[in-house]
Each structure stands twice: as C-alpha cells, then as structure tokens.
Amino acid sequence: MLAAASAVKGQSDLRKFETARRLKGSIQTIRAHYTRNFAAADRRTAQCAVAMYFVDKLALRVGNEKGENEADTVGCCSLRVEHMELKPNHVVRFDFLGKDSIRYTNEVTVLPEVYALLRKFMHGKNRGDDVFDQLTTTQLNDHLKSFMEDLSAKVFRTYNASITLDRWFKEKPVEPKSSIPDKLAYFNKANTEVAILCNHQKSISKGFAKQFAQLTAKSEYTKRILDGLLKAKETAKRKSFEAAVKEFFEEQDRMQYEWLDVYGTEEQKKEYAELVANRGKPKVRSSSDKKKNKKKTKSSTSSKSKAKSAKKSKPSKIKSTKKNGKSKNSKKVKKASLKMKTSTKIKKEAADIPNGKTSANNASKKLLSKRPRAVKKEESEDDVPLSAL
C-alpha cells in the first residue's frame, strides 16, 4: 500500500481526476447514446444500456467473476435476481454485498424504460440467475473505452463524486465568518453526501459480534440490578428496611446462581456459597491475619520509638554546639587579653630605654618575637639586673 502523501500515489490520483475532468466534456454524448439503446431490439445492447445507466446514476462498480473460494461480492454485471426487487411507482430496491463484503442497500426511482427492461430481464428466471445474462464485465469496459480512452466505471464514480461535492458547495455555500469547527462540520456533511453515493462505509470488525454480545449481557445485567433496587425501595416503604435488603439479595443470589450454572466453575460456586452463608455474620479473623496485624503493630511501635529518640537527640546536639561556641568565645577573650598585656609592656620598656641606644620599634619587635611562657619560673637571688650593680 502506498502512503497517502507519497509522490507515486499523488501522480495516480492526479491522472484519475484529470480523466474524470475529461469525462465532463463527453458525459452528455454518452448519456444520450445509452438512452437511445433502451429501445434496441438486441438483448445484449439493451442490457449494456441499462448497466451503463446504473454505473452512471448509482455509481455502481462493474464487478468481476469470482471463484468458488472467494467471497460472494457482486457488481453491476454480476447482479442476480435475488439482489433486486421491483416495487410500484418505478422503484427498484437493491440489496447485495459489494466490494470488501460491504452491504449495499438502496431504493431508487428509475426511468420507466429502465423499469420495463428490468422486468423483462428478470422474467422467468430463478433467484440465483443473473439479470444481465448476455453481458460480461469485459464487454462493458470495452464499450466504455469506445467513447473515451481510459474510461471505466471507476472514472464514472470519481466524476459523480466530484460533481456531487461541487453541487453541494454551490447550493449550500459556507459562511465566510464561520468558525473553524463550523467549517469542519460543513465539509464533513458534504463528504457524507459523497460517501452515501459511493456506499463508503466502515467494514465490521471480526470481534464485533462477541463485543456486542458482551455489551448486551452487561446492559441486561445492569437493568436487572436497577429493577431490583427500585423494587427494594418500594418494599422498604411498605414493610421495613431489613425486608427490602433480604428481598434484594435473594434476587441477586438467584441471578448469580443462574450464571454460575451456565458459566461458573466448581470453585466459584463454592466461594459464592460461602459468601452467602457468611453474609450478615461478623468476620472472624484467622491466625494468619492476626500474625500480620502483630507484625504491623510491631513495625509501627518501632518506628514511633525511633522518631522519639530522634527528637530527643536533637536538643542534645544543640546544647553541645552551644558549649563549643562558649569555649571558642573564651579562647578569643584570652588571646585578646594577652595582646593587651604585651602592648603595655612594650610601651613601658620603650619609655625606660634611652633614645640613643634603641628605638621603640626595635623593642616592640623583640618583645613580640618572644612569646610569653605558659609556666613562670621562680626568681632566684642571683638573677639581679645589671643596672643595679
């Protein structure tokens, strides 16, 4: 399959629509030709004329011969008597499987000449016989190509679909001030008209029947439950709440047992029987449930104790940080006091030393270079300053 946006697909679509555009110039000639052939004495010519009328007006496919193992899908040339029904007032009802096994059902009013020819073609035939027994798909396609090169039933479908869309736009133009959602809805309506003409439908999925059966069963079950609840409500008003509950559960049990008899297993039946027997009774905890609850309580108590210990440890940490802070502050104070003492000593000794010998700056450097000792030695009598001698 080619992608919708591929260049090859775009070229083939361009050729298809250009051929349909060329058909517009020859359509009146073709219609006049098959209308004249309605009165032809030759049976095959008349059948070809009616088939062309259906291809043009109903956008039917030509149809191909099918094998025994293929699906029984039909087209215009392979229509059987069972696929058509003639009704009063020149109305013909079609009912058959088209391409991809999509059902085609339609009631159309045809020309009186076409209605009379169909009655003639179907006269004396069985339901399984072909209506156009003198015409094949190859003959019809060759006849179409005699009017225009590359003309086929597919070109007729493209032409009629394009004309239908163009007619819709002219007869029901969109308002320029419409919003984008309104314009989208407008174009979707126009496309719907084209889809009806060409019988474009979504094919039914393989699992549709199963899904539909499941949804139907669910809807019926829900409806029965709602009916039971409404009935229980009325019973509660007339009698008592307990009687209403009892009546409701009896109905539900009956429905459940019906389902279990058809679809349920023995284990499911035993489980539901136990559920019904224990309904309304207080639940008794098993040993395994008790052990689980004990484990849960132990884990919860341990988590609580951990949380408490964490809370207690927080203030102790805060206290230790406070103590450390105090000790640091005391050390800073001691250092500052030592600096003050050394500075006072420097000033005193600078005052005692004569100006010619040393300066105050040199004295301060010497004193600062010598750090005070932590432990003072006892002064002896021999330690006498030189100035005293």
- Residues 121, 251, single domain; the answer is no
Distance from C-alpha of 63 to C-alpha of 76, rounded to nearest angstrom: 6
User: Which tokens go with 284?
Assistant: 């008794």
Last residue of a domain, one of 198, 231, 246: 198
Enclosing domain of residue 96: 12-198
- Residues 111, 222, single domain; the answer is no
Residues 85-133 have pLDDT tens digits of 999 999 999 988 877 677 888 888 999 999 999 999 999 999 999 999 9
User: Is 35 among the domain residues?
Assistant: yes
Q: Give the per-residue SS3 of 199-264.
A: CCCCCCCCCHHHHHHHHHHHHHHHHHHHHHHHHHHHHHHHCCHHHHHHHHHHHHHHHHHHHHHHHC
Do 14 and 20 form a contact (C-beta atoms < 8 A)?
Answer: no
- Residues 164, 24, single domain; the answer is yes
Last residue of a domain, one of 276, 302, 331: 276
Last residue of a domain, one of 198, 232, 260: 198
Long-range contact set of residues 194-201: C-beta below 8 Å, sequence gap at least 24: 194/161, 194/164, 194/165, 197/59, 197/160, 197/161, 197/164, 198/59, 198/157, 198/161, 199/59, 199/98, 199/102, 199/104, 199/106, 201/102
- Residues 177, 225, single domain; the answer is no
Distance from C-alpha of 58 to C-alpha of 78, rounded to nearest angstrom: 15
- Residues 166, 251, single domain; the answer is no
Query: How many degrees, rounded to 5, is the angle at CA 34 between CA 32 and CA 36?
Result: 70
Place of tokens 């800073």: 332
Distance from C-alpha of 105 to C-alpha of 130, rounded to nearest angstrom: 18
Report the relative pairing of strands 84-87 and 103-109 from DSSP bridges: unpaired
Distance from C-alpha of 120 to C-alpha of 81, rounded to nearest angstrom: 12
- Residues 36, 176, single domain; the answer is yes
In the prediction, which pLDDT does 350 show? 52
Regions in the chain scoring below 70 on pLDDT: 1-10, 64-72, 100, 196-206, 283-389
What is the tally of structural domains in the chain? 2
Q: Which amino acid is at 66?
A: K
Do 228 and 252 form a contact (C-beta atoms < 8 A)?
Answer: yes
- Residues 16, 96, single domain; the answer is yes
In the prediction, which pLDDT does 254 show? 84
- Helical segments of the chain, H only: 7-23, 27-36, 43-58, 112-122, 137-145, 153-171, 180-198, 208-238, 241-263, 266-277, 287-352, 360-369
User: Is 311 among the domain residues?
Assistant: no
Check which CATH number belongs to the domain holding 189 and give it: 3.90.15.10
In the prediction, which pLDDT does 35 show? 92
In the prediction, which pLDDT does 152 show? 80
User: Which tokens go with 295?
Assistant: 């484990």
CA distances to 218, 266, 286 from 283, rounded to whole Å, are 31, 24, 9
User: Given strand 84-87, what is the order of strands in its sheet?
Assistant: 84-87, 91-97, 103-109
Cα dihedral: 213, 217, 223, 226 (round 10) = -150
User: Is 235 among the domain residues?
Assistant: yes
User: Is 389 among the domain residues?
Assistant: no
User: Is 292 among the domain residues?
Assistant: no
Partners of 103 in the β-ladder: 97
- Residues 96, 146, single domain; the answer is yes
- Residues 109, 167, single domain; the answer is yes
Do 353 and 363 form a contact (C-beta atoms < 8 A)?
Answer: yes
The residue among 249, 240, 255 whose CA lies nearest residue 277 is 249
User: Is 333 among the domain residues?
Assistant: no
User: Is 150 among the domain residues?
Assistant: yes
User: Is 379 among the domain residues?
Assistant: no
- Residues 99, 143, single domain; the answer is yes
- Residues 105, 72, single domain; the answer is yes
- Residues 131, 266, single domain; the answer is no
